[in-house]
């Protein structure tokens, strides 16, 4: 059994993608690193639809067919009236098997020298002269106080770490999607395509997704904006959809969860502490996708933590490097996606029907999700029409 030391340079709380990548980059850059996972192991349970882009994950891990469920080539968006729009995304996508992907990421951290403990539940921070100086955690039935210079909180949407450190992580209802997902089997679907269903009656302020795990199995889930929830629960909306669409399906797995669809936290750092991932609200606010973004953030967090150790400077001011790196890489995209969300997710059924109808004129191989979202942000129906015409004209020439 691994021995728990009294001190590590960095302690990372949570071994999801954000935490494991943080730990890996901290360790790789010379910091002694402890990674704590509350559950039985990384990737257990999976509260995720499991979709990622090829280009997004290759910088972090070599593709292994073992944790790829399906390769995705196409996305289909259904409008409330049942019309649909096919899009070929920028490059290949995958639906992952995160029960294997998350352990693979954690294993990479371990290979770089980080020490992972499972069933290790952080229960508080330790302070020395009002400075964060370690983590208190329960490991099986014993409580440990372990010192460190930097704590990285990657503890998901709950983010107790953020609260302990006095960072305001509370989400507004409008910036939270409340989600339920079943893994269904006994289906007859395309394993190459992800489907999205929109509409006020389908999923207010959000959408229903079908992400294939194979030809007969898929993650079928729903997200509803917190401020548009009615007496009907997300589970009831999803159950109705499934009864109509897949009346003969069986359920292999069911999970609930929340997805932050907010802007990134204004200040996800304080002296001796960095928040990363869902805990820092680093999720794409419109799609709710976060795996790739939080891995990028994890790299920046891990690198910054290791630099702080080398510089012997753990002040909030020094740790701002992490935010700078994030802002340079993804800050603009995050703000753009947030403004898209505010328009897109609040469209009424009629407007959505029209948008899909107009965009149908654009050849699907030219229509990417990003183009589609840009069209929405412009918000002007005439612009959409012009865009459609432009594509059609270019095709005729």
Cβ closer to another protein: 100 or 157?
A: 157
Cβ closer to another protein: 75 or 225?
A: 225
Distance separating the N- and C-terminal Cα atoms of the chain: 69
Integer Cα distance of 88 and 367 in angstroms:
7
Cβ closer to another protein: 233 or 386?
A: 233
- C-beta of 120: minimal distance to another protein in Å? 13
Cβ closer to another protein: 257 or 289?
A: 257
Indicate if the alpha-carbon torsion angle 116, 122, 127, 128 is positive or negative: negative
Cβ closer to another protein: 101 or 237?
A: 237
Helices 369-378 & 381-396 angle (0-180, nearest 10)? 140
Cβ closer to another protein: 38 or 325?
A: 38
- C-beta of 76: minimal distance to another protein in Å? 25
Cβ closer to another protein: 205 or 302?
A: 205
Cβ closer to another protein: 47 or 263?
A: 47
What does the buried/exposed string (b/e) look like for 298-322 if buried means 16 or more CB atoms within 10 Å of the residue's CB?
bbbbbbbbbbbbeeeebeeebbebb
DSSP string for residues in 129-196: TTEEEEEEEEETTEEEEEEEEEEEE--TTT-HHHHHTT---PPPGGGEEEEEEEEEES----TTEEEE
- C-beta of 259: minimal distance to another protein in Å? 9
- C-beta of 382: minimal distance to another protein in Å? 38
- C-beta of 155: minimal distance to another protein in Å? 9
**Residues 135/126, Cβ–Cβ less than 8 Å:** yes
What are the CA-CA distances from residue 137 to residues 119, 142, 201 (Å)?
10, 8, 44
- Element (DSSP H or E) covering residue 157: none
- C-beta of 175: minimal distance to another protein in Å? 9
- C-beta of 226: minimal distance to another protein in Å? 5
- C-beta of 180: minimal distance to another protein in Å? 5
Integer Cα distance of 133 and 310 in angstroms:
17
Contacts with another protein, residue ranges (CB under 8 A) = 47, 121, 156-160, 163, 169-173, 176, 178-180, 226, 229, 233-235, 254-258, 260
- Other CB atoms within 10 Å distance of the CB of residue 138: 15
Reading the block at residue 148, the tokens are 């460190």
**Residues 353/79, Cβ–Cβ less than 8 Å:** yes
């Amino acid at each position: 059994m691994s021995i728990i030391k009294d001190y590590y340079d960095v302690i990372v709380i949570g071994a999801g993608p954000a935490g494991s990548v943080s730990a890996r980059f901290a360790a790789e850059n010379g910091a002694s690193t402890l990674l704590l996972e509350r559950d039985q192991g990384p990737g257990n349970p999976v509260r995720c639809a499991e979709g990622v882009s090829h280009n997004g994950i290759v910088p972090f891990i070599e593709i292994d067919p073992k944790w790829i469920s399906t390769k995705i080539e196409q996305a289909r968006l259904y409008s409330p009236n049942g019309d649909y729009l096919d899009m070929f995304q920028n490059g290949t996508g995958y639906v992952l098997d995160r029960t294997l992907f998350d352990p693979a990421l954690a294993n990479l951290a371990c290979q770089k020298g980080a020490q992972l403990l499972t069933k290790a539940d952080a229960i508080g921070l330790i302070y020395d002269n009002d400075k964060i100086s370690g983590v208190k955690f329960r490991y099986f039935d014993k409580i440990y106080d372990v010192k460190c210079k930097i704590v990285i909180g990657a503890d998901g949407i709950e983010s107790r770490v953020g609260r302990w450190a006095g960072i305001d992580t509370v989400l507004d209802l409008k910036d939270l999607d409340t989600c339920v997902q079943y893994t269904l089997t006994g289906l007859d679907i395309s394993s190459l395509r992800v489907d999205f269903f929109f509409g006020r009656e389908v999923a207010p302020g959000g959408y229903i997704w079908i992400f294939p795990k194979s030809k007969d199995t898929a993650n079928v889930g729903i997200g509803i904006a917190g401020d548009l929830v009615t007496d009907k629960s997300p589970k009831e909306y999803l159950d109705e959809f499934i009864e109509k669409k897949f009346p003969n399906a069986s359920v292999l797995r069911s999970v609930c969860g929340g997805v932050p669809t907010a802007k990134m936290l204004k200040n996800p750092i304080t002296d001796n502490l960095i928040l990363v991932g869902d805990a820092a609200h680093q999720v794409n606010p419109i799609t709710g996708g976060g795996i790739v973004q939080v891995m990028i953030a994890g790299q920046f967090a891990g690198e910054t933590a290791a630099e702080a150790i080398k510089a012997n400077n753990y002040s909030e001011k020094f740790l701002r490097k992490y935010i700078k790196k994030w802002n340079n890489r993804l800050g603009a995209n995050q703000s753009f996606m947030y403004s898209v969300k505010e328009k897109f997710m609040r469209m009424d059924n009629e407007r959505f029907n029209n948008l899909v109808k107009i965009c149908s004129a654009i050849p699907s191989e030219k229509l990417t999700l990003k183009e589609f979202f840009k069209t929405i942000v412009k918000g002007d129906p005439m612009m959409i029409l012009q865009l459609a015409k432009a594509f059609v004209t270019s095709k005729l020439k």
